[in-house]
Structure formats: structure tokens, C-alpha cells
């Protein structure tokens, strides 16, 4: 049988594919970033019809707006959903008590999937190429679940870019059922404006980045601002969890050539893309990129093997001992741990490497300005990166190294880069608590 005939023999409508390959009690992985909404909505409908119970769904960053979970009222006995990272979609479902957050560092993602071992994966893929291979696109979330699962339902969409990856191509013969349904790629807005604070933070950090460094940038305005300012450097490398728009521009400008990388030399190594249309177009069949599994990309030991590794990530708030909250607003889970801790640790262990936690000194929740350097974290806040791992912390008022510093020295250093309007209060609180002497 040719792969074309095999494809046609496995092609089904969404509900038939789900009914045949999903069973009550299954662990089901439903993807991340761009997900197979047509097939997943069919699953929700069949659960609502009473076809399944005791299903456990697992996902990461379900950014597609087309999921209709809000339309259903499932009991925990019917369906439970766990996500390993939060976006606006998950925050809605969490508020509706239809989804739970499962804490995890992305460096442990492959181990987690090895424990869960989903029976079924429902993921979106590109149409088969001339050799009969479908591609999962720039979605490293799917790599390990697909390797461990027993049955694969692939929803075919022409919008999915084909990427050069270590575990991203699946032959028609490896897939149990096909559903055809176009999906809109999950998009993030282009960063067109920067703030004065972001520019100042970037300038502080640039003092520690030299020609030949290898860059990891987190998501957000500061990371992109720093990225765009690196165009004057040469022979940069990139090893990063998420491909930012600024990294793409650095490659186009020639500042990034990956010529000095010892790990995936000559290629930009990336986990996933959540970006603009031009980013998705740029990575399509681009051999200058290598998309890896989380174990390959977000692994502290492998990150540490790269000389001059520079890691730049953000924070919601940092207390005077150096504890970093980067994923919650008080008790409210807002995003997730992601790969921050892994890159902080890996870059700090790298020969000549540096890790930075960078953020503006103030925020304005509900229109009221507050300091993001605080005496103690707000009650219920999640410590994303422990103080024992934190190296550099940067705001628009400076950049300080906390690594191996005493608590009094940490407090003084952090107060020095807090907004001037809050320094006296922070100093008073630290002295009152006996933190300073």
C-alpha cells in the first residue's frame, strides 16, 4: 500500500476518530500553543454525550481561541484537565474551575511524560510531504508525548510550518487516524514599541554580553529590546526555549551565525515558536534552525555545556533575599515555571556565562504604582527561581550580582536598584526585620 492509500484509509471525521481511538480512563495529550481544536471540541462533545468517563487531558499553553470548553459542564468523574503552563485561555478555564495547573520545570518535561505515558495524543500536523511524512511544526511540547503514546490522532492543517527537528516528523504509517481541519496558528503580537525603562535595562545588561556569546531570551518587551540591541555584535549563538522576533532579526542581520557553539553548532536551537506570521514563515523548511525536545533545549546540564551562555528572563517581583516570583500574582496562577529555573542554572554554570532576571522597578496593577522589589513576596506568591540560583538582577536603575552574597549584602544591592521612591521604605523594613546591621 502506498502512503497515499494508507492516508486515505485512515482519514475520518473528528468524532469517528475520537470514538475509535480514545477509551474511558485514558490519559490524553492534546498539544500546546497551536492545538487541534476541531478534534478536541469533538472530544468534548462526545464526553458530553456520555461516551467517555474518567478521562485525563494534559496540555501546555493552549493558545487557540477556538476551544469551546466553556460551553460544557463536565464533572471531575467525566473529565479532568491539567496544564503545565498558563495563557489567557487557561486562565479563563481555571476561573471556571474546569482546568488545573500542574507545576513543573520544563527541564523535567520529558521525565513527566515518561511517567504519564499518555495512551492517546491528539495533535495538529502538516500535510504529508512527498515521502509521506507529516510535521508537528514548532511545538516541542508534542515531541515526548508522541514518543510515549500508544495511539496518535493527527489533525492535518496546511497552516503548520514544517520545521527541521530532532523528533518532529511522523510517517503516515506511524499515525492511527487522520482528521482534516485547518487551524489558525497561535499568534503573539509584534513588539513595535519599547519603554524608556526597557531601553535602560537593556543597556545595563549589554555590558556583560560580548562577541561569540550564546543567547537565550525569554518572552516579553525587555528580552526583545535586548535582542534588537545586539546587532552590533558578531558570531553570536542562540540556544533558546522560545524564538523571539528579535532573534529572527539578529539572524537576518548576520549577528547570529552560531559559529562558536559547541552544542548544535552552526544552527539556532529552539524549543517552540509563539510569534508573528513572519516568524512562522521564516522557520518553514529552514535548515538553519534545529527544533529540539525539551530534554535537548531546556536541560541545565546541556545548557551549562555551552560556553558564554547568556540567559535573560523576567519576574513579577523579587524580595530582598533574592527570591523570584515570575508566575503568579499573589495566589493567582498567571503563567508557569516554564524553563526559567533551568536556564538560570545552566547559564550560571556555563564557562563565562551569566543569567539575568530583568524587569522594570515598578508596576501599575489596577492603575496604582507599586514596587516590584519588595521586602517580602505578597502572601501566596509562588517562588519560581530560588534565591540560591539567582545571579544577576537588573532594573532600569542598575544591575547587581547576588550570587554567593549574604542576606544583608543582597538586601543592600536590591534596594540600590529599586525605584528611588521606595528605597527608604525598603531600607526601613529591612532594618526593622534585622536583615541589615
Q: Measured in whole angstroms, how far is the alpha carbon of residue 349 from the centre of its chain? A: 21
Burial of 60 (0-12, 13-18, 19+ CB in 10 A): buried
Q: Is 241 a catalytic residue?
A: yes
- Contact criterion met (CB below 8 Å) for 362 and 423: no
Residues whose CB falls within 8 Å of the CB of residue 188, separated by 6 or more in sequence, listed in order: 219, 274, 275, 276
**Residue 347 to residues 159, 248, 357, Cα–Cα distance (Å):** 35, 21, 12
Q: Which helix (H) or strand (E) holds 145?
A: helix 143-148
**CA triplet 397, 402, 407: central angle to 5 degrees?**
110
Identify the active-site residue in 183, 241, 245, 396: 241
Q: Which helix (H) or strand (E) holds 114?
A: helix 109-116
Alpha-carbon span 40 to 342, nearest angstrom:
31
- Contact criterion met (CB below 8 Å) for 88 and 188: no
- Contact criterion met (CB below 8 Å) for 117 and 93: no
Beta-bridge mates of residue 165: 291
- Contact criterion met (CB below 8 Å) for 46 and 20: no
Task: Indicate the SS3 state at residue 380.
Answer: coil
Q: Which helix (H) or strand (E) holds 328?
A: strand 328-329
Q: Which helix (H) or strand (E) holds 309?
A: strand 309-313
Alpha-carbon span 151 to 44, nearest angstrom:
18
Alpha-carbon span 165 to 168, nearest angstrom:
5
- Contact criterion met (CB below 8 Å) for 317 and 378: yes
Any idea which residues carry the catalytic annotation?
241
Amino acid at each position: 500500500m502506498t502512503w497515499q492509500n494508507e492516508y486515505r484509509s485512515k482519514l475520518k471525521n473528528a468524532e469517528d476518530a475520537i470514538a475509535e481511538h480514545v477509551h474511558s480512563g485514558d490519559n490524553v495529550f492534546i498539544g500546546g500553543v497551536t492545538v487541534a481544536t476541531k478534534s478536541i471540541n469533538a472530544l468534548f462533545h462526545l464526553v458530553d454525550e456520555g461516551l467517555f468517563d474518567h478521562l485525563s487531558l494534559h496540555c501546555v499553553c493552549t493558545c487557540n481561541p477556538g476551544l469551546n470548553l466553556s460551553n460544557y459542564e463536565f464533572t471531575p468523574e467525566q473529565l479532568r484537565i491539567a496544564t503545565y503552563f498558563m495563557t489567557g485561555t487557561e486562565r479563563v478555564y481555571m476561573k471556571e474551575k474546569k482546568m488545573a495547573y500542574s507545576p513543573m520545570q520544563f527541564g523535567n518535561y520529558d521525565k513527566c511524560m515518561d511517567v504519564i505515558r499518555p495512551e492517546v495524543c491528539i495533535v495538529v500536523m502538516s500535510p504529508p510531504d512527498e515521502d509521506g511524512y507529516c510535521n508537528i511544526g514548532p511545538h516541542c511540547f508534542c515531541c515526548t508525548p508522541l514518543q510515549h503514546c500508544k495511539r496518535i490522532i493527527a489533525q492535518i492543517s496546511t497552516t503548520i510550518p514544517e520545521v527541521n527537528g530532532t523528533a518532529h516528523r511522523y510517517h503516515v504509517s506511524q499515525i492511527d487516524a487522520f482528521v482534516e481541519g485547518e487551524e489558525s496558528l497561535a499568534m503573539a503580537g509584534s513588539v513595535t514599541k519599547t519603554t524608556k525603562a526597557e531601553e535602560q535595562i537593556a543597556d545595563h545588561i549589554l555590558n556583560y554580553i560580548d562577541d561569540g556569546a550564546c543567547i537565550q531570551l525569554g518572552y516579553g518587551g525587555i528580552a526583545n529590546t535586548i535582542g534588537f540591541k545586539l546587532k552590533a555584535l558578531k558570531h553570536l549563538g542562540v540556544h533558546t526555549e522560545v524564538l523571539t522576533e528579535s532573534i529572527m532579526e539578529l539572524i537576518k542581520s548576520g549577528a547570529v551565525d552560531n559559529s562558536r557553539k559547541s552544542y548544535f553548532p552552526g544552527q539556532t536551537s529552539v524549543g517552540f515558536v509563539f510569534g508573528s506570521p513572519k516568524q512562522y514563515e521564516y522557520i518553514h523548511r529552514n535548515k538553519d534552525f534545529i527544533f529540539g525536545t525539551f530534554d535537548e533545549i531546556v536541560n541545565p546540564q546541556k545548557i551549562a555545556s555551552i560556553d558564554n551562555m547568556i540567559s535573560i528572563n523576567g519576574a513579577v517581583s523579587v524580595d530582598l533575599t533574592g527570591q523570584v516570583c515570575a508566575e503568579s500574582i499573589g495566589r493567582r496562577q498567571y503563567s508557569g515555571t516554564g524553563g526559567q529555573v533551568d536556564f538560570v542554572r545552566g547559564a550560571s554554570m556555563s564557562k563565562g556565562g551569566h543569567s539575568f532576571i530583568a524587569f522594570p522597578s515598578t508596576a501599575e496593577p489596577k492603575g496604582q504604582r507599586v514596587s516590584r522589589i519588595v521586602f517580602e513576596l505578597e502572601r501566596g506568591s509562588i517562588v519560581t527561581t530560588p534565591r540560591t540560583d539567582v545571579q544577576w538582577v537588573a532594573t532600569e536603575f542598575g544591575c547587581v550580582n547576588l550570587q554567593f552574597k549574604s542576606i544583608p549584602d543582597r538586601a543592600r544591592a536590591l534596594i540600590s536598584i529599586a525605584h528611588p521612591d521606595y528605597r527608604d521604605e525598603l531600607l526601613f523594613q529591612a532594618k526593622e526585620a534585622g536583615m541589615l546591621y
